[in-house]
Structure 1
Amino acid sequence: MAEEIKKTAKEIIESYSGPRIRIMEVCGTHTHEIFRLGIRKILPENIELISGPGCPVCVTDVGFIDEAVILALDRNATICTFGDLVRVPGSEMSLAGVRAKGGRVQIVYSPIDAYEYAKKHLEEQVVFLSVGFETTTPASCLAVKKAKGAGLTNFALLTANKTMPEAYMAMKDSADAFLYPGHVHAITGTKLCENLAEEGISGVVTGFTANEIMTALAVVITRLRKGGSFFENCYPRVVTQEGSKAAQSIVSEIMEACDSEWRGLGVIENSGLKLKEAYREFDARIKFHLPEVKGRSNPACCCGDVLQGKCRPSDCSVFGKACTPLHPVGACMVSNEGACSAYYQYGGNVNG
């Protein structure tokens, strides 16, 4: 269907006059590209795009930041992390605050960079903050496998890896259809999306260009008109039904499912990943005897509601005032994929 619709996508979208529909783009990259490309500006008022929980930094719970702070300041570990996480507020401070207190925080671009840092700094205990969905988890697993093979005893992961299918189920009543992230399903394949359609959850996998996103939106509109749940792969040049067998294999070798806390969504059963027993020496929570931590979000922040599609970033009382990219109150303003940062950067308000 995607190829048939491609040439007429803009016409299908602009001419839609049916009942109000809500489409959730769960990927932060989709959120930013939709804004950047001006797609929201051409949507009729009865088509609403909702920004969902597809930014890994945004959905990472406050308690995870608190654990990293303990590791750096109380356990004297070197924290290796992606840059976005440095300014995410914890209950008391961010990792930027840790740096100000003399803690060691290193910015890396991949888990393998953290592994290489540990190899070169054997005198330091190195912990990589492993956040992300199916796209980035295989690299964390590879870093652990390399560390075990090299006999490294100064490398560990603090895991907050998450899987999307359970989140789709948790959010099933928040939208009429999902825009599924192409890079995630390049790893997982489309079988799980097909299974979700059988459970009554509709959606399409799409890429990140203007044509791909417009085509996906037109497919959603067309299929919703027909009625019934559906799934369409609008990104076949990258996404297959099988996905990446190599990526799936290394994750299943190193990690296993566990319950996971999502900002705004609470604990979702079997939506997280932790290291298996055979690799427990690389689990920072076990290695450093971390206590159970319950984070406290700033009560002024609406990130949890934004991630559930209950409100727009611009509805938050501190948006663009007390909360800006330079002085963020919540994770959704910090992350380069966050909905709040997209609204702030591109001036989003109601539907564009």
Structure 2
Amino acid sequence: MSEGKKTAREIIEGYDGPAVRIMEVCGTHTHEIFRLGIRKLLPKQVELISGPGCPVCVTPVSYIDEAVYLALEKSVTICTFGDLVRVPGSKKSLADARSEGGKIHIVYSPADAEKYAKEHPEEEVVFLSVGFETTTPAGCLSVKKAKEEGITNYSMLIANKTMPQAYEALKGSADIFLYPGHVNAITGTKLCEELVQEGVSGVVAGFTAKELLTALAVALTHFQKGKPFFVNCYPRVVTEEGSKEAQRLVDTLMEACDSEWRGLGIIPGSGLRLRDEWGMYDARKKYQVPKMEGRANPACRCGDVLQGKCKPSDCKVFGKVCTPQHPVGACMVSGEGACSAYYMYGRE
């Protein structure tokens, strides 16, 4: 990126335009911008705020309660990504459930969970399916394969979400969205382009130092022009159409539903669930999981952090009562969480 002979870094450091708030929608962006030292290059009038792009962080307390219920009351084997194990529920985390005899098995993909179910037919296996458009196709593939192989002891507890409705809910919370490149690789850029008509500006960013610097420099350059804009700064991966194959797969197995986001409440049409014909792989239906209300620790401000209303360091328990070793909220637990990033890189 250059403006005349200026590099992206020079454009960022030399920015003398109006104050601007840029929301890093993606938790990985938050961590990388901290880790690479990019925040230190920003002028005072450029503020980076965190958004809801960490799947573990936006997963509500009630979901953890459901998983604990399945582990302890239904004696199923829970297959999960490691980040979820220590996320606090209303009363217990999955780590607590494990200490009480619940079987919690760490996996690295839905395929691992489906394989575990195949190899352990004597166990009822539930995969905790959380994430956005990037990871949803893999969950669908695991269900499709389970059906093809006649595996009946496998199901998913689903908390997959879609980003478009979150963008709508967050309109006005920032001047510019730093869109997550891996999500847009699946969804394409059409929605982001349409949001410009509603006054929402944004740039799609990759994850290397060069890609992030380019995206920020482009964002600041366009912002000074005073008109809403969208630029795809990750064209080597992101196209206008996205991945049609992944979109078709998800649409075949899943349908939209209302979904609760930590901090944002219920966002209509922002969740996914298996269609009725795939219902035998829906853990809520299979085990008749009762509705859970979920009660977050009132001292935790994860909800405000996820909306960009405060920085993690503004929370009274941050770095004191709430640490990676003893997390009070999900944003400190997750490897993509804003509180985790601030704790690792941003404490003064």
Q: One fold, TM greater than 0.5?
A: yes
Q: Which runs of 4+ in 1 moved over 6 A?
A: none
TM-aligned CA deviation for residue 7 of structure 1: 5.1
Q: Partner of 2:119 in structure 1?
A: 120
Give matches, 1:99-248, under 5 Å.
99-248=98-247
Compute the displacement of 1:8 (Å): 2.1
Q: Is the 8 A contact 2:2 2:8 kept in 1?
A: no
C-alpha displacement of 1:348: 3.8
Residue 227 of structure 1, CA deviation: 1.7
Letter in 1 for 2:216: L
Distance in 1 between the 2:15 and 2:109 partners?
A: 43
Q: Identify the residue that residue 48 of structure 1 maps to in structure 2.
A: 47
- The answer (yes or no) to whether the contact 1:6–1:215 under 8 Å persists in 2 is no
The residue number in structure 2 matching 1:62 is 61
Residue identity opposite 1:268 in structure 2: I
In the aligned structure 1, how far is the partner of 2:137 from the partner of 2:22? Answer: 29
Conserved 8 A contact 1:5-1:219 = no
Amino acid at match of 2:191: L
2 CA distance for matches of 1:191 and 1:199? 13
Following the alignment from structure 2 to structure 1, what is the Cα–Cα distance between the partners of residues 250 and 188?
14
Deviation track 1:58-97 (CA, whole Å, cap 9, x = no partner) reads: 0000000000000000011110000000000000010000
CA RMSD of aligned residues (A): 1.2
Question: d(CA) in 2 for partners of 1:344 and 1:255?
Answer: 37
Counterpart for residue 287 of structure 1:
286
Single out whichever of 157-166 and 6-15 deviates more from structure 2.
6-15
User: Does structure 2 conserve the Cα–Cα contact (< 8 Å) formed by 1:72 and 1:78?
Assistant: yes
Post-superposition shift, 1:297?
0.2
Aligned residues: 348
Q: CA deviation at 1:6?
A: 9.4
Matched residue, 1:263 = 262
Contact 2:3 2:11 in 1 (8 A): no
Contact 1:5/1:218 (8 A) holds in 2: no
Letter of the 1:277 partner, please give it.
D
Q: In structure 2, give the amino acid aligned to 1:55.
A: C
Q: 1:6 to 1:219 in 2, by over 3 A?
A: farther
Task: For residue 52 of structure 1, give the secondary structure of its aligned residue in structure 2.
Answer: strand
What residue identity is the alignment partner of 1:78?
A: T
State the AA in 1 paired with 2:289.
L
Report the Cα offset of residue 18 of structure 1: 2.1
Q: For the residues of structure 2 that align with 1:6 and 1:238, how far apart are their CA atoms?
A: 26
CA distance in 2, matches of 1:160, 1:229: 32
- Distance change in 2, residues 1:323/1:118 (3 Å): same
Alignment of 1:298 with 2:297, yes or no, is yes
Q: Percent identity?
A: 71
**Residue aligning to 2:337:** 338
Asked if 1:30 is matched to 2:29, the reply is yes
Residue 347 of structure 1: CA displacement? 2.8
| DSSP-derived class of the 1:26 partner | strand
Cα deviations across residues 249-292 of structure 1 (Å, max 9, x unaligned)? Answer: 11000001000000000000100000001101111111000111
Q: Distance in 2 between matches of 1:117 and 1:135?
A: 23
* Aligned match of 1:307: 306
Task: Please give the alpha-carbon distance, in whole angstroms, between the structure 2 residues aligned to 1:48 and 1:173.
Answer: 15
Q: TM-score, normalised by structure 2?
A: 0.98
Equivalent pair of 1:5/1:215 in contact (CA under 8 Å): no
Secondary structure in structure 1 of the residue aligned to 2:53: coil
**Structure 1 spans left out of the alignment, 5+ residues:** none
Once residues 195 and 4 of structure 2 are traced to their aligned partners in structure 1, the CA distance between those partners, rounded to angstroms, is 23
Report the Cα offset of residue 3 of structure 1: 6.5
In 1, Cα distance between the equivalents of 2:302 and 2:309? Answer: 10
Q: Which amino acid aligns with 2:179?
A: Y
Tell me if the contact between 1:6 and 1:211 (Cα under 8 Å) persists in the aligned partners. no
Would the aligned equivalents of 1:80 and 1:105 in 2 still touch at CA under 8 Å? Answer: yes
Conserved? CA contact 1:65–1:95, under 8 Å: yes
Report the Cα distance in structure 2 between the residues aligned to 1:131 and 1:3, rounded to whole angstroms: 39
Distance 1:90 1:185 in 2: 31
- Structure 2: state its 5+ residue gaps: none
State the secondary structure of the residue aligned to 1:89: coil
Contact in 2 for aligned 1:261/1:267 (Cα 8 Å): yes
1:233 maps to a residue whose letter is: N
**Which amino acid in the other structure matches residue 225 of structure 1?**
Q
Provide the secondary structure at the position in 2 that maps to 1:153: coil
Q: Is the 8 A contact 2:330 2:337 kept in 1?
A: yes
